[in-house]
Amino acid sequence: MALRGNLVVGQSGGPTAVINNSLVGIIHEAMQHAEIDGIYGMMHGITGIINEQLIDLRRESAATLEGLRNTPASALGTIRYKVSEKDYERIVEVLSAYNIRTFCYIGGNDSADTTHKVAQAAERAGYELCAIAVPKTVDNDLAVTDHCPGYGSAARFVATAIRATGFDTRSMGESGPIKLMEIMGRNAGWLAASAVLAREEPDDPPHLIYVPERRVSISQIVADVKACLDRHGYCVAALSEGLVDENGDPLGAAGREEVKDAFGHVRKGGVVETIEAAIQSDLKMTARYDKPNYLQRSMAELMSPVDREEAYEVGRAAVRAAVAGQNDVMITLVREPGPEYRCGTGIAPLHQVANVEHMLPPEYTNDAGNGVTAAFVEYARPLIGGPLAPYARLALHPVPKRQA
C-alpha cells in the first residue's frame, strides 16, 4: 500500500560516472505518482537529513536533469559517515517533521547497511516508511544483484586505459618494456579483471591480471613478468589495489601507514610500488606504473551506454517499489538467460545485502592465478556497452637487407 507523503533521496560513498542517472530516474519516476508530494535531496548523504540540509528537486529544470544524465560524480554531494544510534533517532525525527515516507539511498555496501538501519529505526518508532537502497559501486561487490551500476563504465575506462598504455609500452622497445597499472576495487577483483576486455588479439596486453581473490607472492609476480618479457619482449600487468600475498596480508602494506575510513575500511594502495621495487631488485630492470585512481570512476566521456540506462532504471524501480509498499529492500539487476544480453530489475531484502561482499568467483580466474577466464569475459563484455574503438596496426613488411 502506498504511503502519501514526501520522498527524499541521497547519494553516498564513492561516486561513479553514472550515479546521477539513478538520481534522475528517481526524480522522473516520483513525478509520475500522485502519492508523492515533495521530492527532496539530502546534501552530502545521510548528514543532509541529520543537519536538515534538504533541497527541492521538483524545482530543477528538465534541461538540468537531462544534463545530469551525462555528468559524473554525486550531484547532491557524497559522504562516508558512520551513523550512530543517536543519529538514527534524529533521522526518524526529521523524516517525521517533513512527512517523508519514501527514503531512497544510492550507494554501496555501507549505504545498504545505513538504509537497512533507517528502516529498522523507523519501525521501532512506529513511523511508516518505505526505505529503498539503490545500488552503485565501481567495485561491483554488492550481493544478490548480477552487477552494480557504475561498474560497466569503470570497466570501460580500465579496458581503454590499459589498452592505450599497452600500445605505448610496446612501442618503447628497450627503454620501457614493463608497465604496471594499479586498479581500484577494494577487496574484490571485478574491476581489475575487466582489464582483459582490452584484448583484441590473444597476445595483446594486459598479459597478466592479479585479483585479491587469488593470493600471490611477490616472487611469483616477478617470475611471471620475466616469463612475459621472454615471450613478448614487453609486459603489461593489471594489479588490483587489494592484492594479498601468500599469507593473506595486503601486498602493498609494507612501509605504509594504515589509514581507515569512517567505516573501518583500510585505504588500499601501494601495490605497484611494491612490485616495481621487486622488479628493480630481482630483474635489474625499471618498471613504469600508472595509478588512475578516481579517474576510473569519474570519466563520463567513457560512460557505458548500458551502464547509463541501467543506473537510470534502478532509480525508477526504487520509486515503484516504494509506491508498492516495499520497505527495507534494495533494487537489483537481474540478467535474463540467453545468448543476447538483457537485464531487468528485481528486489532483495537488505539483510541479504548489507555488509556482504560479493567476490569474484573461482571460475572467473585462471589456474595460474595471473589472469581471468573466458567465462568472465562473457559476463563482463556486455556491461561496457560495445567494443572499444579499433586501433590500427602496421603490417611491418620488412625491406630486404643489403650488404654495403
Strand 100-107 relative to strand 5-11: parallel, antiparallel, unpaired? Answer: parallel
Of 149, 166, 111, 153, nearest to 133 by C-alpha is: 111
Q: List helix spans (H) across 69-140.
A: 85-97, 109-124
Task: Determine whether 124 is exposed, middle or buried from the number of CB atoms within 10 Å of its CB (0-12, 13-18, 19+).
Answer: exposed
Residues with Cβ within 8 Å of residue 363, at least 6 apart in sequence: 373, 375
Query: How far apart are alpha carbons 274 and 2 in whole angstroms?
Result: 55
Q: Is there a contact between 29 and 324 (Cβ–Cβ < 8 Å)?
A: no
| DSSP annotation string for 148-185 | -TTHHHHHHHHHHHHHHHHHHHHHTGGG--EEEEEE--
Give per-residue burial for 337-376: e unless 16+ CB within 10 Å, then b: eeeeeebebebbebeebbeeebbbeeebbeeebbbbbeeb
* 139 labelled catalytic: yes
- The set of cell numbers assigned to 229 is 618479457
Q: Which of 139, 146, 204, 224 is catalytic?
A: 139
**Which residues have a catalytic role annotated?**
139
